[in-house]
């Protein structure tokens, strides 16, 4: 999934910022869930063969669905809409850099990272999108990276020869972090046969700015779409699943977020 617009953008647009920003976490006492938990999750993303297997599984299923869909007639050109960060590009090196310093996401450090054009591919993503492109399906990239990162983003995609990696197919965040209007723009000219993402907001506005309970209920309501039209990639490090626990209150301190996370757990 993409990284995100700044807190200022969130306040000015009254929309969801897809990342939780925590300042000066490095000054907090040890054992803070917000950063230490993400350190553990990043270790999973970088080292667990199970993470890699889940990514391959998602893209193997996606390929089967494309094979089923390719013979179906369509009045519009067919398209796949994909998120970028943690869906096709792996930014775990940035997460490691931040958490090892006791920090969470920061807009300045993220911009520095994206400018390096150093993100690797998510396992299975490149082969799948090349395969879909070979079948005549156009690829569109909807990301909540900022427009100022377009050059870096395209260079990172072009570095691996992702199909349709050009400005006409890249839709960065502008006035809102919700991706619904950008999906609608693409749907006006193309038949979207599949959406790829690591965050539920990559698939539908059903999941925009919803509570954790509502997000789970809405997943149940469209359960048949997952593994069919919606292909979800694993991301235990960040996303709206986390922000929903805080009710999208980005002013909470790290200690308050720690308490919210603990309170959300079911034990015995």
Q: What is the DSSP string of 26-64?
A: GGSPS--IIIIIHHHHHHHHHH-HHHHHHHHHHHHHHHH
Lowest mean pLDDT among 15-24, 94-103, 206-215: 15-24
Residue 2 within any structural domain of the chain: no
Residue 159 within any structural domain of the chain: yes
Nearest to 128 by CA among 61, 50, 78: 61
Nearest to 197 by CA among 125, 120, 115: 125
Per-residue confidence at 253, pLDDT binned at 50, 70, 90? confident
Residue 245 within any structural domain of the chain: yes
Give the CA-trace dihedral at 204, 124, 118, 106, to 10 degrees: 30
Domain of residue 255, residue span: 7-263
Per-residue confidence at 227, pLDDT binned at 50, 70, 90? very high
Nearest to 164 by CA among 130, 188, 118, 120: 130
Residue 19 within any structural domain of the chain: yes
Residue 174 within any structural domain of the chain: yes
Q: How many Cβ atoms from other residues are within 10 Å of residue 175's Cβ?
A: 11
Residue 76 within any structural domain of the chain: yes
- Supply the DSSP symbol for 213: H
- Which are the contacts of 12, defined by CB distance < 8 A and separation ≥ 6? none
Query: How far is it, in rounded angstroms, from Cα 244 to Cα 223?
Result: 20
Which pLDDT score, from 0 to 100, does residue 31 have? 62
Residue 167 within any structural domain of the chain: yes
Residue 268 within any structural domain of the chain: no
Mind listing the pLDDT tens digit for each residue in 152-190? 999 999 999 999 999 999 999 989 999 999 999 999 999
> CATH number, domain at 83?
3.40.50.1000
Number of domains in the chain: 1
Q: Which residue has the tokens 């000066």?
A: 24
Lowest mean pLDDT among 16-20, 106-110, 162-166: 16-20
Mind listing the pLDDT tens digit for each residue in 93-107? 999 999 999 999 999
């Amino acid at each position: 999934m993409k990284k995100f617009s700044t807190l200022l953008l969130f306040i000015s647009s009254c929309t969801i910022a897809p990342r939780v920003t925590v300042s000066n976490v490095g000054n907090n006492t040890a054992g803070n869930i917000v950063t230490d938990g993400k350190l553990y999750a990043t270790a999973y993303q970088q080292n667990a063969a199970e993470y890699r297997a889940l990514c391959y599984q998602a893209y193997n299923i996606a390929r089967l669905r494309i094979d089923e869909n390719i013979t179906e007639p369509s009045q519009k050109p067919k398209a796949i809409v994909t998120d970028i960060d943690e869906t096709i590009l792996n930014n775990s090196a940035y997460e490691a850099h931040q958490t090892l310093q006791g920090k969470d996401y920061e807009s300045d450090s993220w911009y520095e990272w994206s400018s390096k054009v150093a993100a690797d591919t998510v396992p299975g993503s490149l082969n799948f999108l090349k395969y879909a492109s070979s079948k005549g399906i156009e690829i569109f990239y909807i990301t909540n990276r900022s427009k100022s990162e377009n050059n870096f983003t395209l260079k990172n995609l072009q570095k691996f020869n992702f199909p349709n990696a050009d400005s006409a197919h890249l839709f960065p965040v502008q006035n809102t972090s919700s991706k619904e209007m950008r999906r609608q723009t693409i749907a006006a000219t193309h038949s979207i046969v599949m959406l790829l993402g690591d965050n539920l907001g990559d698939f539908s506005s059903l999941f925009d700015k919803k509570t954790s309970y509502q997000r789970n209920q809405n997943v149940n309501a469209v359960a048949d779409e997952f593994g069919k039209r919606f292909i979800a990639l694993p991301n235990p490090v960040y996303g709206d699943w986390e922000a929903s626990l805080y009710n999208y209150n980005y002013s909470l301190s790290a200690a308050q977020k720690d308490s919210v996370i603990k309170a959300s757990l079911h034990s015995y």
